[in-house]
Structure 1
Amino acid sequence: MAYGRRVTDGKLLLVAIVEMAEGHAEAGQRYEDEVLALLPRHGGTLDRRMRATDAPTEVHVIRFASRAGLESFMVDPDRLALRDKLGDAAPTTRVIEVRDV
């Protein structure tokens, strides 16, 4: 996951575009359910979770109280174990740091 500039108030606003592995949409969605539930441990909140109407893709709007929260989320042992367990069926995620305009 790559991320860009720091938001001026110290909080991070992210948009995650999650592409489910071909043939593994249900497993990917269950994985996302479990991983997103870990956000509060790290000062993160899920503002919105949307699914594409024509593809096995989700879009998440996520906030973190700090960059340190995002960084700790990325190395959370439970998150890493879930991803490892899913293997090749794990979704691919592109994360974009955004700001309100």
Structure 2
Amino acid sequence: MGHSISTQQFLADSRLRDAVSGNTDACFDLGICYSAGTDGYGLDLIEAHKWFNIAAVKGDRRAGECRAEVSQNMTAREIAEAQRQARALLTSRQSPTAW
């Protein structure tokens, strides 16, 4: 049984909020969603790479493996953009302990 659109949106918003707050599992989950185009997220390899990169930086070994796999289907420019976005998000956080 699927989720209603409002429930799906709530789950998506919650996952994003948790990821931006520094929750490693939520970052990994976003990477999975964007890499597969599931759970209301469109297929977006730049976003997938970005979230896998953040999770990997935070120590999630699975994320590093997924990031490498996603990279195989990306151009060098797309990878550079994903890295730029991840770096910007990581450096925008005021408290280093949040990440």
- Name the TM-score, length of structure 2 as normaliser: 0.32
**Greater share of strand residues, 1 or 2?**
1
Higher RCO, 1 or 2 (CA under 8 Å, sep at least 6)?
1
**Greater share of helix residues, 1 or 2?**
2
- Name the TM-score, length of structure 1 as normaliser: 0.32
